[in-house]
Amino acid sequence: MRIAQEQGKILSNLEVAPNIFLLNLGLPQVAETAQPGQFVHLRIGPLPDPLLRRPFSIHRTKPEEAEVSILYQVVGGGTKLLSQKRRGERLDCLGPLGRGFAIPKRAGRFILVAGGIGIAPLIFLAETLLRKEKRKKMEVVFLIGAASAEYILPESELLCWGVAVQVATDDGSKGHRGPVTDLLTRQVDRSVESCHIFACGPEGMLKEVAQIAGQQKIPCQICLEQRMACGVGACLGCVVKTRSGYRRVCVDGPVFPAGEVIFE
Ligand SMILES: Cc1cc2nc3c(=O)[nH]c(=O)nc-3n(C[C@H](O)[C@H](O)[C@H](O)COP(=O)(O)OP(=O)(O)OC[C@H]3O[C@@H](n4cnc5c(N)ncnc54)[C@H](O)[C@@H]3O)c2cc1C
Ligand code: FES
């Protein structure tokens, strides 16, 4: 896999929900080669602060326009600084990094489970599945969990080309009241035939998704968002415990078979 270092030009950086921003960058090489589940490592400010790059999933690509989108939530100093960047500024970007989702060869029922900002890589995945899929017998179900309705992206940001979208919120302000894994349980109770689960979100949610998939013997891939330093396999700062020993999330993942990961 070719990793590029590019000076991405900011095309737009807009708040699309409270503290959630959509950043569009001109990144020709990343746009050309990125796969869903891979990430970019952005240098947000001049050294020394923040010292480390920050990793973000690739949310969408438009190769024909040399564009890459990142969907991010402001949680600390780095993302705050990122939210203040304006159109025309440039960001040093390494990518695409990591191993993304393995796209199943056969059509089936693909259930995508997003918790909070974990929706970011799953939109790219859904678009890729649908693009590859002129396959007839395919169903994509998108289960989205968030704290409340205001954190659910506007419909224009969600893809709705025949995708069944279901929403769960912690406070019940939109869709099902409760965790998104309740929706997953309902889906797998309906049928597990040709199912494949893909998930990204907080660790507690991923643990539960892995349990549900394991009990029903459904193939499941999860995208981990461990804290990272180098992002290229050198520092061991991002290791996760798996059935085959410690693995580096930045190069061996961030996507892993759910049954591989040992949650603490
Ligand atoms: C492969 C990968 C893909 C990611 N994709 C996205 C994405 O698409 N959109 C997005 O908004 N974020 C994503 N993240 C998380 C993002 O990298 C962090 O939110 C960001 O680095 C925080 O930087 P900061 O300087 O704002 O926060 P910091 O000041 O570094 O931290 C602020 C707070 O956030 C917590 N925090 C920081 N990083 C993480 C993390 N990785 N997991 C859990 N808690 C964390 C810290 O413990 C602290 O409490 C991804 C992370 C990885 C590893
Ligand atoms: S972040 Fe350095 S090895 Fe993964």
* pLDDT, tens only, 66-112: 999 999 999 999 999 999 999 999 999 998 999 999 998 887 899 99
Protein residue with its CA nearest to atom 28 in ligand 1: 76
Residue 133 pLDDT: 60
Nearest ligand by distance to the CA of 21:
1
Residue 214 pLDDT: 95
- Angle of CA points 41, 46, 48, to nearest 5°: 95
Q: Which fold is adopted by the domain 4-97?
A: Elongation Factor Tu (Ef-tu); domain 3 (2.40.30)
Nearest ligand by distance to the CA of 58:
1
Pocket (CB within 6 angstroms of ligand 1): 39, 50, 54-57, 71-73, 75-79, 117, 120, 225-228, 254
56 contact partners, CB below 8 Å, separation of at least 6: 39, 40, 42, 70, 72, 120
Same fold? 4-97, 109-224: no
- Mean of pLDDT values over 208-217: 96
Q: What is the C-alpha separation between 207 and 252, in angstroms, rounded?
A: 19
Average pLDDT of every residue of the chain: 92
Domain at 109-224: CATH architecture:
3-Layer(aba) Sandwich (3.40)
Nearest ligand by distance to the CA of 233:
2
**Nearest atom within ligand 2 for CA of residue 231:** 1
**Nearest atom within ligand 1 for CA of residue 81:** 26
Residue 134 pLDDT: 60
Kind plus residue range of the DSSP H or E element containing 257: strand 255-257
Per domain, the residue ranges of the chain are 4-97, 109-224
196 contact partners, CB below 8 Å, separation of at least 6: 104, 108, 109, 110, 111, 218, 219, 220, 221
- Mean of pLDDT values over 124-142: 80
**Nearest atom within ligand 1 for CA of residue 74:** 26
Å from CA of 234 to ligand 2 middle? 6
Protein residue with its CA nearest to atom 37 in ligand 1: 227
**Integer distance in angstroms from the first to the last C-alpha of the chain?**
31
- pTM comes to 0.95
**Nearest atom within ligand 2 for CA of residue 248:** 4
Residue 135 pLDDT: 57
- Mean of pLDDT values over 206-217: 96
Mutating to test ligand 1, I would choose from 30, 38, 43, 54 the residue with most ligand atoms within 8 A of its C-beta, which is 54
Backbone angles phi, psi at 109, to 5 degrees: -105, 110
Pocket (CB within 6 angstroms of ligand 2): 228-231, 233-238, 248, 250
Å from CA of 193 to ligand 1 middle? 35
Radius of gyration of the chain (CA): 18
